[in-house]
Every structure is written in structure tokens, then in C-alpha cells.
């Protein structure tokens, strides 16, 4: 958590005016404001994805200001950044709210995940390296070993994070940052449904064995079978999640 003291460390009396005065001081303050906004934006994003901030819930800027010891300006900037991610919406006279969930959106996310993630996997296989193979197998190992299912049949936040890491590892990574960003946004929005729907995380673990098949074909550099297994997995988990969401 970033507290007010972090701000004082930059703008307080211990900073010599010859170093931070004039335009130089304004630049440092602008950088610190950007850092504060980035931190708070990420915290709000995680709260929405985990369900801590419920779908459709109003995001109170004054509460954020108090919680993180910041002024209202970086708090507003932090939340405004999330509008473009599809996690937050703004309406006149109402302010900022987390977006609501719907079966229509979930169906769109599933369809887009299949299209974009298989595209990313094909690109990765076409330019596969030993380093990429190692990342895929490492992500698979963490997914299988480091985050076991919870007693209630669901999965932990760590498991869902490992799930996202595995699917991102299948993509081209730094070689195509725009494609990676699209994959990440869709995976995160998909995980939101898992976290906020009763029992929604269970299908991820129940169908987790499909990841072995995806990785096996990917490492063998068999694009057709790897992409087929990936598409089948996303479709299967999506169908289970849609059924649970409609019940709830």
C-alpha cells in the first residue's frame, strides 16, 4: 500500500530546492503522481477481478483517496484508466462503477479467446524456441503443483493466476505485445466470471487436465492439434461457466 509518507518523501522538506525546484520539481511530482495512479489502478483492477468490488458496484473516489493516502486527482486518474479495459464504466451524474456481467458478454469473451489465443499459439509455434518451450512447461508445472483446489471444490486466486500465466505463456510474448495484451485482457475478464459466479472456478480445475494435452502438442510443434485442444478447452470451460452463471 502506498501511504501519504511516500508522497512526502518527494515533496517534503528533505528535498533540496536546487534539485527539485522549478520545472525539475514539477517533473518529479508528475512522475510520483503517475506512480501513485498506476499502483491504485492496479489495486482496483485486482479488486474487480477477484469480486471484492462486486459487478455494478459504485467506486467511491473519496474512499480510495483515504485508503491510499492520495489526493482526489490521482484517485480519479487511476479509476479512469480502467474504463478502456472493460472493467469500469463512467456515467454522468453517477460516477464510476464496475461493469456488470452478462451471458452475452461471457459468450463473446469465450469466442474471442478461442480466436485470439489460437492465433497467438500458431504464431508461437511458427517461431518456437527452446526458451518458449521452457516457459510453457514451467507455467504448466506451476499450474499443476503450486495452487491446489480449495476444500469447497473451487480454486484459489493463486491457481487462477497460474491459469492465466499458462495461457499467456502459449502466446508470442514480447514478440507481439499487442496480441499479448489482447489475450491478457480477455483472460482476466474471463477469470472475473470465475471469481464472481458461485462455483465458477470449479470447471477450471475440473478440466485442468486438458492443459497437459495442449502443452504436449505445442511442444511437439503440431499447430493443428495444439490449437484444436486449446479451442476445445476454452469452449468446455466456457460452457460450464455459462451454465453456472445462468443458474446463479
Question: Could you report the per-residue pLDDT of 115-173, keeping only the tens digit for each?
Answer: 999 999 999 999 999 999 999 999 999 988 865 555 555 556 677 788 889 999 999 76
pLDDT of residue 12 exceeding 50: no
Q: Which residue has the cell 499467456?
A: 168
HEC string for the chain: CCCHHHHHHHHCCCCCHHHHCHHHHHHHHHHHHHHHHHHHHHHHHHHHHHCCCCCCCECCHHHHHHHHCCCHHHHHHHHHHHHHHCCEEEECCCEEEECCCCHHHHHHHHHHHHHHHHHHHHHHHHCCCHHHHHHHHHHHHHHHHCCCECCCCCECHHHHHHHHHHHHHCCCHHHCHHHHHHHHHHHHHHHHHHHHCCCCCHHHHHCCCHHHHHHHHHHCCCHHHHHHHHHHHHHHHHHHHHHHHHHC
Percent of all residues in the chain with a pLDDT value above 70, rounded to a whole number: 76
Mean pLDDT in the chain?
A: 81
Angstrom distance (rounded) from CA 108 to CA 166: 21
Question: Could you report the per-residue pLDDT of 46-85, keeping only the tens digit for each?
Answer: 899 888 899 999 999 999 999 988 889 989 999 999 999 9
How many residues comprise the chain?
248
Amino acid at each position: 500500500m502506498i501511504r501519504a509518507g511516500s508522497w512526502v518523501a518527494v515533496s517534503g522538506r528533505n528535498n533540496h530546492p536546487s534539485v527539485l525546484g522549478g520545472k525539475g520539481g514539477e517533473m518529479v511530482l508528475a512522475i510520483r503522481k503517475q506512480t501513485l495512479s498506476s499502483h491504485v489502478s492496479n489495486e482496483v483492477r485486482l479488486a474487480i477481478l477477484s469480486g471484492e468490488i462486486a459487478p455494478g458496484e459504485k467506486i467511491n473516489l473519496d474512499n480510495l483517496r483515504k485508503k491510499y493516502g492520495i489526493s482526489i486527482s490521482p484517485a480519479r486518474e487511476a479509476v479512469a484508466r480502467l474504463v478502456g479495459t472493460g472493467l469500469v464504466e463512467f456515467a454522468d451524474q453517477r460516477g464510476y462503477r464496475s461493469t456488470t456481467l452478462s451471458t452475452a458478454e461471457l459468450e463473446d469473451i469465450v469466442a474471442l479467446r478461442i480466436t485470439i489465443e489460437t492465433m497467438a499459439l500458431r504464431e508461437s509455434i511458427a517461431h518456437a524456441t527452446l526458451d518458449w518451450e521452457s516457459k510453457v512447461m514451467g507455467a504448466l508445472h506451476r499450474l499443476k503443483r503450486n495452487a491446489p483446489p480449495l476444500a469447497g471444490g473451487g480454486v484459489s486466486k493463486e491457481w487462477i493466476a497460474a491459469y492465466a500465466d499458462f495461457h499467456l505463456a502459449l502466446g508470442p510474448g514480447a514478440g507481439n505485445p499487442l496480441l499479448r495484451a489482447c489475450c491478457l485482457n480477455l483472460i482476466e475478464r474471463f477469470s472475473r466470471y470465475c471469481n464472481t459466479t458461485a462455483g465458477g472456478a470449479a470447471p477450471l480445475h475440473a478440466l485442468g487436465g486438458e492443459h497437459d494435452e495442449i502443452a504436449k502438442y505445442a511442444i511437439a510443434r503440431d499447430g493443428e492439434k495444439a490449437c484444436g485442444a486449446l479451442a476445445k478447452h476454452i469452449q468446455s470451460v466456457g460452457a460450464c461457466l455459462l451454465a453456472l452463471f445462468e443458474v446463479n
